[in-house]
Structure 1
Amino acid sequence: MGDLEIRAATVDDLRAIVEMLADDPLGARRESPDDLSPYLAAFEQLDADPHQQVIVAVREGRVVGTLQLTTIPGLSRRGATRSLIEGVRIHADERGGGLGTQLIEWAVEDSRRQGCQLVQLTSDATRTSARRFYERLGFVASHVGFKMNL
C-alpha cells in the first residue's frame, strides 16, 4: 500500500479534505466541494491558531485521510488540558485497512506530547460503526452531547 506520511495539512490539500468530508450520507447533505471559498476562510483561521491542527495522511502523494485536533486548556480536572478530535475521514479506497486506527493513534500520541490529560471526540449517533471503532480504540461513551444550530 506504500508508505504513509501523517503531516499538517496545507491549503493545497483542501479540496481532497472537503471531498472526504462530503463522502458519506451526513456529509453529502452539509458539505459542498463545488465551492471551496468557505473552507478556505476556515482553513486560514485554523492555520493561524496554535491550538488547532488540521492533519492529513498521505500515501503515494495522495491525501487519503484527515482529522482536526484541537487543544483546549481548561480549569476543570485541576486545570487539565484536553484535546478534541473532529472531522475524522478516511478515503473510501482506504477504509478497513487500518488507516483510521493509525490516524487516531497519532492524534492520541500528539495529545500526550502536548501535555493533554484527556482526549475526547464526538461521533454522530447514526454512525454506529464509528462508535464501535472508537470503543475498540479505548474511548468510552461517557457523556451525552448536545448541539444547537445557530
Structure 2
Amino acid sequence: MMGEINFRLAAEKDLESIVAMLADDVLGSKRERYEHPLPNSYMRAFEAIIADPNNELIVACEKNEVIGVQQITFTPYITHQGGWRATIEGVRTSASVRGKGIGTKLIKWAIQRAEERGCHLVQLTTDKKRADALRFYESLGFKATHEGLKMKL
C-alpha cells in the first residue's frame, strides 16, 4: 500500500533519481545517459529550469524517495487573447510504483498548478510509440485535437 504522496520543486539532490526514471524505459534508454557521474548537461539544464520562473521541475515523493517527475512550462501566447498555457513534459514514475496511480496524481497536480497560474489550456505530447501513454492521457480528459510536428536539430 502506498503512503502519502507529496509534490515539491525538485532539488539538486533529486537529479540522479530523475535521470534514472527518464532512462528507465525503451525510448528513454536510447536518449538519456544515466551514468556516474551524470553528464554535466543535466546539471546545466536543471540550473536553467530552476532559474526560470515559468518552468517548474516537480517531483512526487513517498517519504523521502522520489517516485515521479514532470516538468511544467508556463508560456504566454498572443493567441487566445493573450492567454497562458501550461505544457507538461518528461512525465515518468519509478518502475517500483508503476500502475499504482502515481502518474494520475502527477498529471492532476499539474492541471491544478496550471489553474493556479491562470492558464486557459494544458497541453502535452507523447511519442506515437507510447500507445499506453496515449490511452492514459486520454483517460484523464486530454484530446488529440492537433497534429504535432517536431524537427530534430
TM-score (structure 1 length as normaliser):
0.98
Q: Specify the code of the residue in structure 1 equivalent to 2:63.
A: E
* Matches of 1:78 and 1:57, distance apart in 2: 33
Q: Give deviations 1:20-44, integer Å, cap 9, x for gaps.
A: 0000000000000113311000000
Worse overlay, 49-58 or 35-44: 35-44
Q: Which residue of 1 aligns with 2:102?
A: 99
Q: Which residue of 1 aligns with 2:125?
A: 122
Q: Does structure 2 retain, via aligned residues, the 8 Å contact 1:15–1:36?
A: no
Q: Which residue of 2 aligns with 1:11?
A: 12
Tell me how far 1:105 sits from its aligned partner: 0.3
Count of aligned pairs: 150
Tell me how far 1:103 sits from its aligned partner: 0.5
Q: Give deviations 1:77-119, integer Å, cap 9, x for gaps.
A: 1111000000000101111111100000000000000000000
* Matches of 2:34 and 2:50, distance apart in 1: 20
Q: Specify the code of the residue in structure 1 equivalent to 2:4.
A: D
Q: Specify the code of the residue in structure 1 equivalent to 2:121.
A: L
* Matches of 1:59 and 1:48, distance apart in 2: 26
Q: Which residue of 2 aligns with 1:86?
A: 89
Gaps of at least 5 residues in structure 1 are: none
Establish whether residue 111 from structure 1 lines up as the match of residue 114 from structure 2.
yes
Q: 1:145 to 1:101 in 2, by over 3 A?
A: same
Tell me how far 1:60 sits from its aligned partner: 2.2
Q: Give deviations 1:16-74, integer Å, cap 9, x for gaps.
A: 00000000000000000113311000000000000000000011211000000000001
130, 134, 143: which one aligns with 1:131: 134
Establish whether residue 50 from structure 1 lines up as the match of residue 53 from structure 2.
yes
Overall identity of the aligned pairs, in %: 48
Q: Which residue of 1 aligns with 2:23?
A: 22
Q: Specify the code of the residue in structure 2 equivalent to 1:98.
A: G
CA RMSD of aligned residues (A): 0.7
Task: Determine helix, strand or coil for the equivalent of 1:25.
Answer: coil
TM-score (structure 2 length as normaliser):
0.96
Q: Which residue of 1 aligns with 2:146?
A: 143
36, 41, 61: which one aligns with 2:39: 36
